[in-house]
Structures are given as structure tokens and as C-alpha cells.
Amino acid sequence: MTESALLIDFYRGAVYPLGLEGESGSYYEHQNTKCVKPLVNLCAAYIVLDCTMTKIAAVTVPNELKIILMQEALLCSRDQAFGVLMYEWPISYLSLKSLVPGFCSTIRPLYDLNFLMTQVHKAMLWTTCLVNAFIKGMQKDKFSVLRYLDLSGYPTSEVIVSYLAVSCLMSYSDNATKQQVQPAITTATRSLNKDRGITDDTFVVKLDALLMSDQALQELAKAMVVISDCHCKLHLCINKLGVTCNGAKKTAVLLREIDHQELHGLCLKFNALTCVDLVGLAPSIKSLVNLTAIDLSCNNINFYLSDTTCDLISEVFKHLRQLSRLDLSNNRIKTKLRRLLAEIPQSLTYLRLAACGLTVTDITYLARSHHCEHLTELDLSENGLGRACTYVVQLLYALSKNLRVLEIEDSFLKDEHILAIEPAVRSMESLLYINVAENVFSRNMQKLLTKAISGIQSMQVFRLSYASDCYLFESNEEESNAQSQNLKELEELAVRHTEKSSQLKIEIIELCRGH
């Protein structure tokens, strides 16, 4: 799997919530609008274009205007201005999320992967430039006030994570040498430093880290060991952690060293984890008491073969009292869903169970479980839902008040199932996005479902495949014409039946599989 594909999977998964309030407020959307900025922002945007002007402004303007200058420097990607403004930053704390919008502030990444990659790369540019300026300022003692850089909620490239880890190791080594102390760290020293807290001579970077290489993982693990020593000038605080393509043993080493109080999101996909591996990792995961999101997808965990593993993981989930987002996709669950989810203390808000081999028993449990109370995002794609259609209908009715994102792509649904689920879909009060692509529907059944979806006030995007009728022609030209007509009919239908001011977006793709 390519690095870009891994990035896409990580940043639109359980660990990174998408904005469920639509596309308003997104920096990436507003970049293309003709809205005029306030005069103070226009002036700030002009100043940060020139490094000399930025230096003059940084020492002369009021502190409130320094914040606006930094915002415009970020939005205009003026990396030299970052450093100048950071050296004169008026407070000890600089948070990226307080300066620019969140990079996942829309639902568009659900259906537009190019858009997601643009967001990720833009956010990585911000975090890269800020880290470089922060480390250089720390090394040259240029900061008079700034001590804490918070990049949480934004992607940080693996290269920058390694750079920070190496900087931690170097700062520890330099300070230890200067003070002629032994580099070995004892438990007593760690405990003493925690009691002391962060000193005036300590710098902290809070970040999200996605690790794909063995080298980066080892460097971060070493850094997490030394930062608890009082001689380490630079501290790293990991808010969200993604470890992929490294396996259970290497992952276990890092999880033992990570600050269990600080970690809020954990992604362990594509590590070829088995039931045995998961049992080995369970104690470390269980200790992550503030974890709100966990992603175990795309491994080789056959839950249905091991009641022992199911019971152990259920016990782990029981202790994660903040857990609200969970992805178990591409692991085999088959009849064990109740055993896995029943002990989670509160209702999940995000649940992804794609390609888990779900059975009627699993769907029945989910429809009657406490998770229906607050569940807002549900993905049951690539499961054979056709044979459990009656219970899927029960589930949709149970979720009708709060569900905002529903994905049932490639779920072996056909025309007869549309007739059953259409009333349940119509009852949805808060739905923003529904994905039924890769299911084989005729044009008439598509129209029936489109009418139901158009009547939902909150609805924004309907994703589906071309009707099966479009593939009955012998020539490519006839097929293409049929597809164009298919889309046009659905869009016109949506316009006629919508009762809201905003237009429902029809996102239609090729039907790649027939069932």
C-alpha cells in the first residue's frame, strides 16, 4: 500500500473526526470565495509577505495584532514570517487550532480523496514550518516567553516526528554532559520530574504522530524514555498516535513508553495483528485511560475463532471510559459483536465495521444496543446485509434521530431491499451523508430512494453507483449516454422533492461489481 493511501486511511478514520456541520467555516472552501477580509487582516496579509516588514511589526504592534499576523502568515504559507513572529510571541502557549480552522472541518473527505490529500498536505506544511521555527528558536535561545507549541489535531509528517525525537535525544545528551550526570534514567528520577512539572527551561511540543517506518518508531520510543528526565530540555506530548506496518512487538515497545495520560487517539491498522498479538497489546491499551478513539482495522484478528480474545478486548474497552470512536473493520467478527461491544460504558458516536462478516445476530444486537443512543456515524459496508435486511430496517429506525453518516457500500443490497429500507431512510432526522454505492439497483428503485433522501432537511450528499440498467448496452457510447441520463434524472428529481434551500449533491460512480 502506498504512503498516500495510508495517509488517506489514517486521516479520515476513527482517530480524526470529520466536521459534521457541513462545509461552512472551512478555510479550504473559503479560499475560493470572493469574500473581502476585514481591513486588519488585509494589512496583516500584506505585512507577512515581506520578512523585513514582519520583523518591524513583530516588535512594534500590540500583542493582539501579533496573533492576526500569525494567522495570516499561516494562511499565506509565509514560513519566514512564522519564525519571526514566534520569537516575539507574547504568551507561553501557541496553539495551531486556535489560529486556523481544523483541516477536517467538512464531510467532503468522505467522497473526495483528492480534497483530503490537499488538506493533509496543507496542514503538514503548517506543522513542518512551525516545528522548524520552534526548534531553531529553542536551540538559539531566541524565545523570551514561548515554551509550549500545540500542533494536536493536525498531521505531522514522519520526517518531522523523527526530527523532534532526535532533537529530544540531543538536548538530553547535551544537558547531561554539561552537568556531568549519568545518562541512565531511574524510576525515582522519572517520578521526581513528574512532580516538578515543566520548568521555565523546558520546551514542549504537543503533536499527532503517524509512524510507518521502523527507524522513526525506534527514535520516538527512545525520545519518550529520555523526556521524563529532568535534564531533557525538549519534551514531546503525543496526542494521537498511528503505528502501521510495524507489527506487534515494535508497537508494544512504543506503547510502553508513551505517556498514557496524554494519548487520546490510537490507530494500529495494517500491522498484521492476530488474536495472539492483540492479547499481548491489551495491557498497554487498557492503560490508556483517556483514549477517545481506537482503530484496529485492516489486521488479521479473527474474533469469531477466540472467545478468550473477545472477552479480553471487551474488558479493555470496559476500562476505556472515554472511548467514543471505534473501527474494527476488515477483521472477522461473525456473531461476536455483542461480546465485543456490550461492556463499553457509554454509547459510541462512531462505529466502523466494514468487511467484518457480520451476521443477523450481530445486526440484531446492534439495533437493540445502547450504542444507538448517540451513534452519529456508522459504516457497515462490505457485509452481506441483504440477508439481514429486516434487522437493518430495525437498526435504521433505532438510529433515526441522531445518525448523520451512513455507509452501506457493496453490501449485497438489491431492488427488493430498497422497498424495505426506504421508509426507514425517510425517517432519518439528522442524516447528512449516505453511501449505497456498489449495490445493484434498477433506475426505478434509485428514484424511489432519491425521493426519500431529498425529503430529509439535513441531507447534503447521496453517493451511489449507476443503475444496473445502464450496463445493458453493447457500445461504450450508448452506455455513457445512459449513465449521463441516469445522473440527470436523479439530480432533477432531487431538485423537485427537496424542501430546503441547499441542493442535494448526487455523487455517482461506476458499478464495479455485480452480485
**Whether the predicted pLDDT of 44 surpasses 70:** yes
Confidence of residue 24 (pLDDT cuts 50, 70, 90): very low
Express each pLDDT in 353-387 by its tens digit: 999 999 999 999 999 999 999 999 999 999 999 99
Domains for the chain: give ranges and CATH numbers: 3-155 (no CATH), 348-515 (3.80.10.10)
Gap between the Cα atoms of 219 and 166, Å rounded: 7
Express each pLDDT in 249-300 by its tens digit: 999 999 999 999 999 999 999 999 999 999 999 999 999 999 999 999 999 9
**Whether the predicted pLDDT of 246 surpasses 70:** yes
Confidence of residue 352 (pLDDT cuts 50, 70, 90): very high
**Whether the predicted pLDDT of 467 surpasses 60:** yes
Which residues, in sequence order, are bridge partners of residue 509? 465
Q: Which residue would you say has higher pLDDT here, 185 or 102?
A: 102
* Average of per-residue pLDDT across 45-56: 93
DSSP 288: -
Gap between the Cα atoms of 101 and 442, Å rounded: 41
Q: What is the pLDDT at residue 503?
A: 82
Q: What is the pLDDT at residue 26?
A: 37
Express each pLDDT in 193-229 by its tens digit: 344 344 567 899 999 999 999 999 999 999 999 887 6
| 20-24, 447-451, 455-459: segment of lowest average pLDDT | 20-24
The count of C-alpha atoms lying within 13 angstroms of the C-alpha of 249, restricted to the half-sphere facing its C-beta, is 1
Task: Report DSSP letters for 425-483, one per residue.
Answer: HHT-SS--EEE-TTS---HHHHHHHHHHHHT-TT--EEEEEPPGGGG--SSHHHHHHHH
**Whether the predicted pLDDT of 6 surpasses 80:** no
**Grid cell at residue 459:** 441531507
**What percent of the chain stands above pLDDT 70?**
90
The count of C-alpha atoms lying within 13 angstroms of the C-alpha of 376, restricted to the half-sphere facing its C-beta, is 13
Other Cβ atoms closer than 10 A to 430: 17
Express each pLDDT in 316-327 by its tens digit: 999 999 999 999
**Grid cell at residue 479:** 452506455
With b meaning 16 or more CB within 10 Å and e meaning fewer, what string describes 256-289? ebbbbeebbbbbbbbbebbbebbbebeebbbbbe
* Average of per-residue pLDDT across 435-454: 96
**Grid cell at residue 362:** 450481530
Q: What is the pLDDT at residue 175?
A: 64
* Average of per-residue pLDDT across 42-60: 93
Confidence of residue 180 (pLDDT cuts 50, 70, 90): very low
| 174-178, 423-427, 453-457: segment of lowest average pLDDT | 174-178
DSSP 201: T
Instruction: Mention every residue, 6+ apart, whose C-beta is less than 8 A from residue 307.
Output: 336, 339
Q: Report if pTM > 0.85.
A: yes
**Whether the predicted pLDDT of 178 surpasses 60:** no
